[in-house]
Amino acid sequence: MRPLTSGLLRRVPWPAVDAGLFSLGSEGPPLPVEGAGLWREKMCSPRDLRAHLCLWRETTSLHRVPRVLLGARLIPEAADSKVVTFAAVWRMPAELEPGGQESPEDAASPAHALELLCHLEPAARGSTACVAWEPAGDGKRVISLADNHILLWDLQESSSQAMLASSASLEGKGQLKFTTGRWSPHHNCSQVATANDTAIRGWDTRTMSQIYCIESAHGQLVRDLDFNPNKQYYLASCGDDCKVKFWDTRNVAEPVKTLEEHSHWVWNVRYNHSHDQLVLTGSSDSRVILSNMVSISSEPFGHLVDDDDLSDQEERRLEEKSQEPPQDSVIATYEEHEDSVYAVDWSSADPWLFASLSYDGRLVINRVPRALKYHILL
């Protein structure tokens, strides 16, 4: 995909999904794609940058225009021979909003400029490593991680500036730095998980105090985190030890499950938004693995169905299925990529659709196998 002019946004038709797909580019390596909340992607830059990060969130506008997309993007900036990253908040053009005059299928649609609302200035706190929107609410709160600082930002009504509401810092020996973070959708969105080196920490955003700590969660650097969207307290992590681990944050002495299917660093782990037994991982071994973690899912024995709505045959089938112990397994291994896979994510429009992005700019879209889909549904 040829990169577009910096700061421009183009709608790319994709008939498989109702919402359009967007591509954001600059002069240099291609940046990730993002589609009306469809994907959240990372991509590694050849120039010693670990990632270009582009996050979009579909939310209610602060100007009372519904379904406005806000984004926060990390931008490299040269300063004293160092690479400095910072975050900014952008608004999507009104022409691309639902109900706009421009058709999503119009391949000849012009490029549109994003509206820069404000910067999340870390000032002297260092380079921004990660930004995360509050999973629910009015879209006014953002968490950013800058070196050893966790910063909670409050976007003002005018959207022209972001006020620093509260902050906290990592304390300890050495130069501690956050590598990634994830905002929990549970507990009224009052908890955030962060990773630094091999440790995972939980924070209460109301007091900005630490509530749990997994000191040696992985044998090497922790790369990514994701909360189970349907089962509170459950957190997935992955790292350079080639492992994916699942934690119950109420008891962090040992992981509840560990996967060791990859042969190199695991960069990404993602729960399916609807069926949390489905877990995606992407690795530097160029593979994407789809796993079925049914034993620790919110529905280990399938959907709960009213017996009055079942026929005799369906009831017998349900009884037979309930007698089978839940089996965790690898569903499929996808090897379409020829380079390291730095991002995987699920579609927000179709729970059976997922995408992966590799270092060479290849975007691959796959579906959950049909047999598994009907096994889950039936």
Question: Taking the complete model, does pTM exceed 0.85, yes or no?
Answer: no
Instruction: For residue range 134-176, list pLDDT tens digits in order.
Output: 988 777 889 999 989 999 999 876 667 788 899 999 988 888 9
Rounded distance between C-alpha atoms, residue 363 and residue 212, angstroms: 36
More confident residue, 273 or 36: 273
Sheet arrangement for strand 341-346: 341-346, 353-358, 363-367
**CB-based contacts of 269: which residues, under 8 Å, 6+ apart?**
224, 225, 226, 236, 237, 238, 244, 279, 280, 281
pLDDT at residue 56 above 50?
no
Rounded distance between C-alpha atoms, residue 37 and residue 21, angstroms: 9
* Residue 246 pLDDT class (50, 70, 90 cuts): very high
pLDDT at residue 240 above 70?
yes
* Residue 363 pLDDT class (50, 70, 90 cuts): very high
> Across all residues in the chain, what is the average pLDDT?
75
**CB-based contacts of 356: which residues, under 8 Å, 6+ apart?**
280, 282, 288, 334, 337, 341, 343, 344, 363, 364, 366
Instruction: For residue range 294-313, list pLDDT tens digits in order.
Output: 999 987 755 444 445 445 65
Beta strands 33-34 and 234-239, pairing class: unpaired
Which residues pair with residue 320 across a beta bridge? none
Rounded distance between C-alpha atoms, residue 15 and residue 26, angstroms: 26
Rounded distance between C-alpha atoms, residue 166 and residue 207, angstroms: 8
Instruction: For residue range 273-284, list pLDDT tens digits in order.
Output: 999 999 999 999
More confident residue, 53 or 189: 189
What's the pLDDT score for residue 161?
A: 79
Provide the token pair at 323: 């007698």
